[in-house]
Structure 1
Amino acid sequence: MRVPEPFDAVVLAGGRARRLGGADKPAAPVGGRALVARVADAAASAARLVVVGPPRPEPARAVFVREDPPGAGPVPALRAGLAEVTAPWVALLAGDLPFLRPGDVALLLAAARDAGDGAVLVDDGGREQWLAGCWRTAALSSALEGYEGASLRGLLGPLGPAAVRVEAGERAPWYDCDTPAELEHADRLARPEPR
């Protein structure tokens, strides 16, 4: 049996949350836990957890860094987070994915290792979810070196990632919370059924 190489996780948890009126979206509770803490749980087997965003009480084990300037976008945030990565593989995750699970991250890692440089989650509409993927750290660093664009698709697409599809219902691992209605819906789905 092949022993998997270790991986780190970079969670992008900054941004301006314009559609939420500038609220601290990663700290928003879903099912009684902050969104960013739920994402950290999905990456619990990461050797190192790097959160790009303002320091907050949870996840307690995280290394917090900021892009310069704060709120500059996902590519500068990725640069700041990747500077803290020491493992040969890295999971790149959005801080607002309440239903991402450890099994989803494990599938992405396995697919990335098989593909060579990376893997990305694909939603049920066939769209790549660039903030739900796993990458060879060296390949990601090389891609960032000469990249001057602002698009994660422009940065990550040329790496030829494997597409990972999972069976999902309403609790899809790519479900993100950009609006108050999406947050409320996620919170309802995350709460246990009354007896």
Structure 2
Amino acid sequence: MSDLPENNPPLGLVLAGGRARRLGGGDKGFVRVGGRAILARVVEALAPACAAVVLNANDDPERFAAYALPVVPDGVPDRPGPLAGVLAGLDWAAVHRPDLDRIVTAPADCPFLPADLVEKLAAAASAPIACAASGGRRHPVVALWPVRLRAPLRRALVVEGERKVEAVMARFGVATAEWPVDPVDPFFNVNTPDDLATANRLAAEIDGARRTSGPGAEREDGVMEKRLDLRGLKCPLPALKTRKALATLATGDRLIVVCTDPMAAIDVPNTVRESGDTLEISERAADDLVFHIRKR
């Protein structure tokens, strides 16, 4: 059994290059489910159990600027698919985070990733690669990869022309971690308008179950999540109220701050930085600025 993620956290890599061809074009990760970009939901699922999160995508990285995360393009030409993204993540970890020996990958079109994703993959890692599965079906792009595979993976991809993730996993050895599909398949992905309609219905049920009339709600993973609605307030009030709310949280709890003042895009992240806490996600939803903060 591998080390648990709190003792040996991986790098989180979101494979964010998928195109929403059947959903009007653009990046799949920017498609909104329950009023939030799927990419934001994926980052939120990975961030608590990862040492850092990076995005893999080609073309202009500025389109991801709101996420304040490194954007890593493929390091091989001709866009050969998700294996190029995995290799880019392994290379980035080796250069920028040599203290990390694994990366966990997930696509930017899965809005319901489980909170225990990294923990269960790490526990199942009896082979070099650990892959997620649900309903008896493996999801090869949701997996835990050792950084030491970067050289053999490069050879398979560049020299031998291998493009299939499952074939690479079979070659190097893969273990499987299984999740139930009830009440929702955590690896449900959005490809079509029908998928999007289903995802929005599920999101309404899941997100609604987490809301309470009180100041905070305990999620299924045991983390306290507090929502701070500061819409209509002008700076410096959003930053001051964010600082006050953070002081009431325990380590590991999350604070979701919603603002409308454009200056909050500067003031709130500065406040989080000064407090030593972690800004996991910064995104725009319609006229709102939304910040997801984890107490350290």
Max Rg structure: 2
Higher relative contact order by CA 8 Å / sep ≥ 6: 1 or 2?
Answer: 1
**Shift in Å, 1:51:** 0.5
* 1:20-35 equivalence runs, <5 A: 20-35=23-38
Q: Which one of the candidate residues 135, 142, 146 is aligned to 2:151?
A: 142
Q: Which amino acid aligns with 1:159?
A: F
Q: Which one of the candidate residues 159, 172, 194 is aligned to 1:181?
A: 194
Q: Which amino acid aligns with 2:162?
A: G
**Distance verdict in 2 for CA 1:15–1:120, change over 3 Å:** same
Q: Paired residue for 1:88?
A: 101
**Shift in Å, 1:170:** 4.7
2:54 is equivalent to residue 41 of structure 1 = no
1:85-134 Cα shifts (integer Å, max 9, x gaps): 1311110111111110221222112212xx0412111120x221011111
* 1:9-158 equivalence runs, <5 A: 9-44=12-47, 45-53=49-57, 54=61, 55-60=63-68, 62-67=69-74, 71-85=79-93, 86=97, 87-112=100-125, 115-124=126-135, 126-139=136-149, 141-147=150-156, 148-158=161-171
Distance (whole Å) between structure 1 residues aligned to residue 124 and residue 66 of structure 2: 29
Distance (whole Å) between structure 2 residues aligned to residue 151 and residue 123 of structure 1: 20
When the two chains are superposed, the root-mean-square deviation of aligned CA atoms in Å is 2.4
**Shift in Å, 1:19:** 2.8
Q: TM-score, normalising length from structure 2?
A: 0.58
Q: Which runs of 5+ in 1 are unaligned?
A: none
Q: Which amino acid aligns with 1:138?
A: R
Q: Which runs of 5+ in 2 are unaligned?
A: 212-296
SS at match of 2:55: strand
**Shift in Å, 1:70:** 7.6
SS at match of 1:56: helix
Q: TM-score, normalising length from structure 1?
A: 0.85
Moved more, 151-160 or 67-76: 67-76
**Distance verdict in 2 for CA 1:155–1:166, change over 3 Å:** same
Count of matched residue pairs: 190
Distance (whole Å) between structure 2 residues aligned to residue 152 and residue 21 of structure 1: 27
**Distance verdict in 2 for CA 1:52–1:164, change over 3 Å:** same
